[in-house]
Chains A and B, each alone.
Chain A
Amino acid sequence: MTETLLRIRNLECFYGPVMAIRGVSLDVPEGRIVTVLGANGAGKTTLLKTVSGVMDPAKGDILLAGDSIASRDPDRIVRKGVVHVPEGREIFPLLTVDENLAMGAYTRKDRDVAADREMVFGYFPILKQRRRQTAGTLSGGQQQMLAIARGLMAGPRVMLLDEPSLGLSPLLVGDIFAILRRLNAERGVTMLLVEQNARVALDIADDGYVMELGRIVMEGSAERLRQSADIQEFYLGAERQGLRGERRWKRRKTWG
């Protein structure tokens, strides 16, 4: 059993007056990819924002390799090795690709930044071709690659990935997830991946959690989640042939 790198315990978080996270606990073991599945409004993004320090939790704790990082300033959390690749890319549109990558390495003082940039270009050769172009003129897929590459430049121990498949063609999603899998296998980057696209997420993940309305309703290995009837029906789109042709919305989810 590998060591748990990121440990979330009984986290509660408010989004304005709304309680967005209602007591979530999860573990991300070192070197693994853990995915959190869930529909819109399940609280997935809030969970990641709380881990990266952009939002403060009301209760609960977040531990990185045993040290609490809950409610710290985002820059201190990045320095500790947690980097957030946000939903919807959020690149710096008027900076060049190179400058965006330099901002990813903002918290670093060491001299390996240049070497890391070459490493990143190795994974994303298209970015090397476009390195002097302003990021706002890149295509959606390239912007997503830039967002991941920028996150890598921070030299993270854990990457928080928020819907990297959002708004991309299936082909591009395949490309990007293949690169994520390589990053995990070759460089040992631990990942906490939040996705609505359960099929691709369960494909690369080791373990998974399912979140609904701020709670974890199911957890297990990716394999086990793939086999679950509820996941197959509600996230993977399989047709269930009921004996009496019962309606989909009438059926109770049991998460078994």
Chain B
Amino acid sequence: MEILQLIVSGLANGCIYGLIALGFALIYKAAEQVNFAQGDLMMFGAFVALGLTNDSHLGLPFWVACIGAVTAMAVLGWLLERSVLRRVFGQSQIAVVILTIAFGFLLRIAAGLIWGHDPLTLESPIAGVNQHFGGLVLGLDELTVIAVTLVLTAILFGFFSRTKLGIAMQASSQNQLAAYYMGIPVKRIHGLTWALAGAIAAVAGILFASKGSIDPNTGLLGIKAFAAAVIGGFGSLPGALAGGLIVGLIEPFAARYVASGYSQIAPYAMLILVLLIRPHGLFAQIHAKKV
């Protein structure tokens, strides 16, 4: 029973890591850019939702706030690509890394200025409600996180494998030059990818804030999600999710069975282990680059 409890809370955390990792993988896959602001985008998305719905702020209904936050973050992602990243397109990876790290700082500062540096709690209808199944106590928040992640993954999978735009995103990541030749507007597709990554970050942020409090430094969670993305094989969407789940599951078990401090180390130990055994990650699509 205790193991089951650990699995559920691990999965719920893992889903959030997985969603952030999905953002990393998405942008890397489509534009070959590494977005180190993904964690901060998540934090900012959570704060936007909080600012819209909390009684002390605007006090809008929760669902309106969710839609508002997702839309706002999609627009922010799109604007970031449009205004800054398109200018360094074709330059070294480091330029993008530095830019996105800087953008992460900006988001953290902005969130601190607008909503303050103290931890805040999102007034979410799913927070703090427990369901009892026999001896098992499951939080509604945890169940919702898992359910939303599953649904979102299914939608994304359908989008990438069924729609013309989704296939075009895959195509331009596999062979950018050929995408140009086929008349696929590659730059517009990059912008849409960033918008999608922003929207996913907002969903992850809302889910995370429903499980606990947030402050402007919450975005540093992105580092753990980055480890998850690497474990899964950077650029693989199912890999990102699986990596997130692995990291999420390791943490509570390490805390319970080893020692509490080890739960912080465990994800990175796992990362090193995976890099030693399978340097391209568990679900690598690295052969795509060789063809």
Give the CA-CA distance A79 to B184 in the complex, in Å: 10
Taking a contact as CB atoms closer than 8 A, the residue among B164, B174, B183, B185 that contacts A92 in the complex is: B174
* Residue of A75, A91, A150 most packed against chain B (CB within 10 A): A75
Residues of chain B with a CB closer than 8 A to A91's CB? 175, 178
Residues of chain A with a CB closer than 8 A to B287's CB? 136
Give the CA-CA distance A107 to B181 in the complex, in Å: 11
Residues of chain A with a CB closer than 8 A to B179's CB? 92, 103
Flag B163-175 by CB within 8 Å of A: 1 or 0 each: 0100110110011
Taking a contact as CB atoms closer than 8 A, the residue among B164, B178, B184, B288 that contacts A94 in the complex is: B288
B291 part of interface (Cβ distance < 8 Å): yes
Residues of chain B with a CB closer than 8 A to A76's CB? 183
Q: Are B181 and A52 in contact (CB under 8 A)?
A: yes
Q: Are B184 and A75 in contact (CB under 8 A)?
A: yes
B177 part of interface (Cβ distance < 8 Å): yes
Give the CA-CA distance A177 to B284 in the complex, in Å: 38
List A72-106 residues whose CB lies under 8 Å from chain B.
Answer: 73-79, 83-86, 90-95, 99, 102-104, 106
A222 part of interface (Cβ distance < 8 Å): no
B182 part of interface (Cβ distance < 8 Å): yes
B157 part of interface (Cβ distance < 8 Å): no
Q: Are B174 and A75 in contact (CB under 8 A)?
A: no
Q: Are B184 and A90 in contact (CB under 8 A)?
A: no
Q: Are B164 and A74 in contact (CB under 8 A)?
A: no
A193 part of interface (Cβ distance < 8 Å): no
Residues of chain B with a CB closer than 8 A to A94's CB? 170, 174, 285, 288
- Nearest to B177 among chain A residues (CB) is A90
Residues of chain B with a CB closer than 8 A to A83's CB? 181-183
Give the CA-CA distance A192 to B49 in the complex, in Å: 56
A205 part of interface (Cβ distance < 8 Å): no
Q: Are B167 and A95 in contact (CB under 8 A)?
A: yes
B180 part of interface (Cβ distance < 8 Å): yes
Given contacts A92-B174, A93-B175, A93-B288, contact A74 B180 (CB under 8 A): yes
Give the CA-CA distance A75 to B181 in the complex, in Å: 8
Q: Are B164 and A90 in contact (CB under 8 A)?
A: no
Give the CA-CA distance A91 to B179 in the complex, in Å: 9
Taking a contact as CB atoms closer than 8 A, the residue among A75, A95, A102 that contacts B183 in the complex is: A75
Give the CA-CA distance A107 to B291 in the complex, in Å: 25
Give the CA-CA distance A75 to B189 in the complex, in Å: 12
* Min CB gap A71→B, angstroms: 14
* Min CB gap A135→B, angstroms: 9
Q: Are B183 and A90 in contact (CB under 8 A)?
A: no
Give the CA-CA distance A92 to B184 in the complex, in Å: 13
Give the CA-CA distance A74 to B179 in the complex, in Å: 10
A217 part of interface (Cβ distance < 8 Å): no
Residues of chain B with a CB closer than 8 A to A52's CB? 181
Given contacts A73-B185, A106-B164, A136-B291, contact A92 B171 (CB under 8 A): yes
Residues of chain A with a CB closer than 8 A to B182's CB? 78, 83, 103-104, 106-107, 150, 154
- Nearest to A53 among chain B residues (CB) is B180
- Nearest to A54 among chain B residues (CB) is B180
Residues of chain B with a CB closer than 8 A to A74's CB? 180-181, 183
Q: Are A106 and B291 in contact (CB under 8 A)?
A: no
Q: Are A54 and B181 in contact (CB under 8 A)?
A: yes
- Nearest to B180 among chain A residues (CB) is A74
* Min CB gap A69→B, angstroms: 13
Q: Are A86 and B177 in contact (CB under 8 A)?
A: yes
Q: Are A92 and B181 in contact (CB under 8 A)?
A: no
Q: Besides the contacts A90-B178, A91-B175, A94-B288, what 8 more A-B pairs have beta carbons closer than 8 Å?
A: A78-B182, A93-B175, A99-B170, A103-B167, A103-B171, A104-B182, A136-B288, A136-B291
The 3 nearest A-B residue pairs measured at CB: A78-B183, A93-B291, A90-B178
Q: Which residues of B contact A (CB under 8 A)?
A: 164, 167-168, 170-171, 174-175, 177-185, 285, 287-288, 291
Q: List, sorted by A's number, 20 A–B pairs whose CB atoms are closer than 8 Å.
A: A54-B177, A54-B180, A73-B185, A75-B180, A77-B183, A78-B181, A78-B183, A85-B181, A86-B181, A91-B178, A92-B171, A92-B174, A93-B174, A93-B288, A94-B170, A94-B285, A99-B171, A103-B179, A106-B184, A107-B183
